[in-house]
Chain A
Amino acid sequence: MNPNSPETWLIPEDLHIDDLFASLKEKFALDVLPEYSAKIEYVDTFDWELYREKYLLHNNAGSWSLYHENTCSLTLEKGGPKLDSPCFSSDFPPGPLRDVLTPILGIRCLLPVATVLLAGQEIRLLNRDEKTVVRLIIERQQPEGQAYSYRLVRLVAVRGYDKELSAAQEILEENGIVEVVSALIGFEEACRCGGRYPLDYSSKFQIQLSPRSTAREAIGSIYLELLDNMRINIPGVMADWDIEFLHDLRVAIRRTRSGLSLVKQVLPDALVSRFKKEFAALGSVTGPTRDLDVYLKDRQKYLDRLPPALQPGLELFFDQLAKKRQAEQKKLVRHLRTKKISILFDDWQRSIEQEELHPAPKAQMPVLSVANPIIFKHYKRVLKTGLSVDRTSPDDDVHALRIQCKKLRYSMEFFASLYPKKELQVVIKHLKKLQDILGIFNDLYVQQTMVLETLGALNQERPTKTNLSISASLGGLLQSLYQEQEEVRYHFKEAFIQFTDEETTTLCHQLFKKKQVSK
């Protein structure tokens, strides 16, 4: 038994603690330490970034504790941000806690996920020298707002006293303490009370499909999952907790739209074209705020591209962007608050669920006979376009390749659970490398367009001191962006060659080029 991560048992309801103490006293002297009690408020990002990395972060009366499950390391800090509003890693004072949090949280904020009331006691079991040989911890964990609680007991070993530990464990067993539970049962239950559960959300798209299901069933569950993602992110977008809510909302919309155009004849055409339009409209409403988020989040990186003399001008520009973002965010919230959105979501859900009302030619086909040709078709398209793109190609051609890669990626991710994981991952890995380069290229292109448009608009205005200073900085920025874009061009071919190497090609043929799949 690892002394640091002891097993936790549930104390049966009918067991009186004094009876347990009496049996322990037959073998050990007891040193009962004073009772402790605390109100523990657990926080995590919306997508459980800390929990995923085996960390638990909680606040107790203004002090923060970060616990790591594997190493059992505990980082403590007094003070730090208050919990009344979402906080970011940058809100913590510089120190060990912030150092751990920064890379894990990234740009995500911390939100309260659970509150647990603890009351407990440490009992040291002593030998004849009055030396502590085992520590016993009895704790009551009560999810806040609930009438019930869990009585738990843990034995913490002291190194070199294994016999005493076994003896103590036997005494627990004799008293009917045999049910092992998670040491975090209070935390998990409190999450559940708040309508959440650890790892119930991830920004990665994951869905388990059955190869025996029909195309209609499969695509239905994909759309419902994406719809769920849209709904779940909207409160965070409206409250503007952090910029990832909007990003995730947009990704779910984009995936849905991709699905609607990639997967044909599984839903009736009329339905598809209606919702394509509706989701395109929703996508474009969310666009302006996101575009500004993308610039603002990299404010420092843009400043670093410029010589110090040009930086103040860019700061002014960013201040203007930040104001603009505020205005766009207000507009977005107003839009999301309208009934139209919930009507759209409800209609969409009904259309997916009421299969019998919306027949389509390929609806009853086995999912793989629909998935394979879709993926293979887009794979071939990427190959075809990719072969013609090199460093001299016009930006539009590169853009077209990027869109095709995206379609291929989405189609593979939709149906990922139907294919052998390892093999599919190899293909996705190489595709991702290519997409990363195309993505950087495209970002640099979009950024230059934005700079040029801004410069154009500034030309129409009066040449104030501020405008001149901003123009000079944007000129410098344009130069830096253009240079980097030219450098990125050189890397297309390498990434594309990797994607078309023998291993990936063979895999793609094996995985997706299947003529007919029997149900």
Chain B
Amino acid sequence: MSILAVYNIKGGVGKTATSVNLAYLASIQRKTLLIDMDPQGSASYYFRIRSPEKFGTKKLLKGGKHIERNIRGTDFPNLDMLPADFSYRNIDIALDDCKKSQTRVKKILEPLEEEYEQIILDCPPNLTLLSENIFYAADQILVPAIPTTLSILSSEQLYAFLDEIGLGHDKVRIFFSMVEKRKRLHTEVIQSMQGKPGVLTSSIPYLTDVERMGVYRMPVTASHPNATASRAYQQLWDEIQDDVQAQ
């Protein structure tokens, strides 16, 4: 059983594409639950799942049967998902009212670990009480980063935040996403980061296959398993698995 959070402070880094594809690849091996924590609900959109009518922040934070009732099967046999709701945009306020507000998410995920061997969290891009909750709950924090100076800066911000809450950097794994080989900056940044602790060697190139996922409304790894993008996600997933085993 493992909980993988896909997270970045910045948006538009290929976070949802990563969550959706890794969730699909995980489900080939074991029963997997994808939780869409982002109020935009892009992951839910990819799987054509609408937010259930009576579901929102309150129900999410209550946990237990309130969550179980709202889990939906995707079109893939071993992959279920908990769709996002627009009300999540105010989740921090609700979290703040909870007792033990930093570990609430960890607690509501616990019963789900009995049913699912893998949980993947698609997280919203910010650094808030919800993020803190996710960092406590996750076994690994997977950070997709576009290889630019700015994104290096944001990962430093992440490290600083983890220091502040006393969590250490052990859970963090960074990989490069939306990589464009012809851009000099991209190759330079990747070179400078290579071999640093927590930086994975797999990367996802910038590809139209990934962009077109919105059209097919399913993971590219499912619709085009042999596409370049699919192979890159598979390699990334394998590296994460090896990493988990090594731990």
The residue in chain B whose Cβ has the minimal distance to the Cβ of A159 is B73
Please report the C-alpha to C-alpha distance between residue A161 and residue B49 in the assembled complex, in whole angstroms: 11
Using CB atoms, name the residue of chain B closest to A132: B75
> Does B233 have its Cβ within 8 Å of any Cβ on chain A?
no
B50 touches A129 (CB 8 A): yes
Q: Which residues 132-153 of B sit at the A interface, judged by CB distance below 8 A?
A: none
Interface residue total, chain B, C-beta cutoff 8 A: 13
Q: How far does the alpha carbon of A299 sit from the alpha carbon of B161 in the complex, in Å?
A: 63
A131-B51 Cα distance, complex, nearest whole Å: 13
CB-based contact B49/A131 at 8 Å: yes
- B75:A160 contact, CB within 8 angstroms: no
In the complex, the chain B residue whose C-beta lies closest to that of A157 is B73
A3 to B31 CA separation, bound complex (whole angstroms): 14
**Chain A, 132-176, contact with B by CB distance < 8 Å: what is the 0/1 string?**
100000000000000000000000011111000000000000000
Among A117-141, those with CB < 8 Å from B are 124, 129-132
Whether B73 and A130, one on each chain, are in contact in the complex, defined by CB atoms closer than 8 angstroms, is no
Q: Which residues of B contact A132 (CB under 8 A)?
A: 73, 75
| Residues of chain A lying within 8 A (CB to CB) of residue B70 | 160
> Which residues from chain A contact B225 at a C-beta distance below 8 Å?
none
Q: Are B48 and A160 in contact (CB-based, < 8 A)? A: no
Residues in A neighbouring B69, C-beta threshold 8 A:
160
Chain B residue contacts of A124, Cβ below 8 A: 75
Q: Which residues of B contact A159 (CB under 8 A)?
A: 71-73, 80
Contact A3 B73 (CB under 8 A): yes
| A130: nearest chain-B partner, CB-CB | B48
What is the bound-complex CA distance between A436 and B186, given in angstroms?
73
Residue of A nearest to B83 (CB): A160
Contact indicator B52/A160 (Cβ below 8 Å): yes
Cα A10 to Cα B42 in complex, Å, equals 41
Q: How far is the CA of A157 from the CA of B73 in the complex (A)?
A: 9
Contact with A along B101-125 (1 / 0, CB 8 A): 0000000000000000000000000
Complex contacts, B72 vs chain A, CB 8 Å: 158-161
In the complex, the answer to whether A131 meets B75 with C-beta atoms within 8 Å is: yes
- Cα A124 to Cα B75 in complex, Å, equals 9
Residues of A contacting B47 in the complex (Cβ-Cβ under 8 angstroms): 131
Known: A124-B75, A159-B73, A160-B70. A131 touches B52 (CB 8 A): no
Q: How far apart are the CA atoms of A158 and B217 in the complex, in Å?
A: 18
Q: Is the interface of B mostly helix, strand, loop or mixed?
A: loop
Chain A residues near B73: list those with CB within 8 A. 3, 132, 157-161
Which residue, of B49, B70, B73, B217, has the highest number of chain A Cβ atoms within 10 A? B73
Chain A nearest CB: distance from B218 CB in Å?
10
Query: A306-361: which have CB < 8 Å to B?
Result: none
In the complex, what distance in Å separates the CA atom of A129 from the CA atom of B218? 12
State A236–B179 Cα separation when bound (angstroms): 65
* Cα-based distance from A124 to B218 in the complex (angstroms): 15
What CA separation (Å) do A129 and B217 show in the bound complex? Answer: 10
| Chain B residue contacts of A129, Cβ below 8 A | 48-50
Nearest chain A CB to B208 CB, angstrom units: 22
**Chain B contacts for A160, CB-based, 8 A:** 52, 69-73, 80
Q: List B residues 186-242 near A (Cβ within 8 Å).
A: 217
CB contacts under 8 Å to B, within A224-250, are: none
Q: Complex Cα distance A250/B224, Å?
A: 60
Which of A3, A129, A161: most chain B CB closer than 10 A?
A129
CB proximity of B40 to chain A, nearest CB, Å: 17
Nearest residue (CB) in A for B80 is A159
Contact residues of B between 9 and 50, Cβ < 8 Å to A = 47-50
A130 vs B52: C-alpha distance in the bound complex, in angstroms? 16
B118 to chain A, nearest CB (A): 16
| CA–CA, A131 and B74, complex, Å | 8
Bound complex: CA A159 to CA B71 (Å): 7
Residues of A within 8 A of B75 (CB): 124, 131-132
Q: Give the contacts of A93-138 with B (CB-CB under 8 A).
A: 124, 129-132
User: What is the CA–CA distance of A129 and B71 in the complex, to the nearest angstrom?
Assistant: 17
In the bound complex, how far is the Cα of B15 from the Cα of A273, in angstroms?
86
B71 CB contacts on chain A under 8 angstroms = 159-160
Contact between B80 and A131, CB atoms less than 8 A apart: no
B45 and chain A: residue at smallest CB distance: A129
State A400–B164 Cα separation when bound (angstroms). Answer: 79
The distance in angstroms between the C-alpha atoms of A129 and B50, with both chains bound, is 9
CB distance from A38 to the nearest CB of B (A): 18
Q: How far is the CB of B222 from chain A (nearest CB, A)?
A: 12
Chain B contacts with A in 45-72, Cβ cutoff 8 A: 47-50, 52, 69-72
A168 to chain B, nearest CB (A): 14
Bound-state CA distance A498–B8 (Å) is: 67
| Residues from 1 to 33 in A contacting B, C-beta threshold 8 Å | 3
- Closest chain-A Cβ to B45's Cβ sits at a distance in Å of 9
Q: When chains A and B are docked, how far (Å) is the Cα of A345 from the Cα of B70?
A: 66
Q: How far is the CA of A315 from the CA of B214 in the complex (A)?
A: 66
Tell me the minimal C-beta distance from B24 to chain A in angstroms: 14
In the complex formed, the residue of A with least CB distance to B69 is: A160
Q: Name the distance in Å between B50's Cβ and chain A's nearest Cβ.
A: 7
A86 CB → nearest B CB, Å: 32
Determine the chain B residues whose CB is within 8 A of the CB of A131 once the complex forms.
47-49, 75
Q: Which residue of B lies closest to A156 (CB)?
A: B77
Closest to A158 in B: B73
Inside 8 A of A161's CB, which chain B residues have their CB?
72-73
User: Which single residue of chain B is at the shortest CB-CB distance from A133?
Assistant: B73
CA distance A130 to B70 in the complex (A): 19
| Shortest beta-carbon distance from A403 to chain B in Å | 52
Question: Could you say which residues of chain A place their CB within 8 Å of the CB of B217?
Answer: 130
A-B contact pairs, 13 of them (CB 8 A): A124-B75, A129-B48, A129-B49, A129-B50, A130-B48, A130-B217, A132-B75, A157-B73, A159-B72, A159-B80, A160-B72, A160-B80, A161-B73
7 tightest A-B CB contacts, nearest first: A160-B72, A131-B48, A158-B73, A159-B73, A132-B75, A129-B48, A159-B80
Q: A157-B73, A160-B80 are in contact. List 16 more A-B contacts (CB 8 A).
A: A3-B73, A124-B75, A129-B48, A129-B49, A130-B217, A131-B75, A132-B75, A158-B72, A158-B73, A159-B72, A159-B73, A159-B80, A160-B52, A160-B69, A160-B70, A160-B72
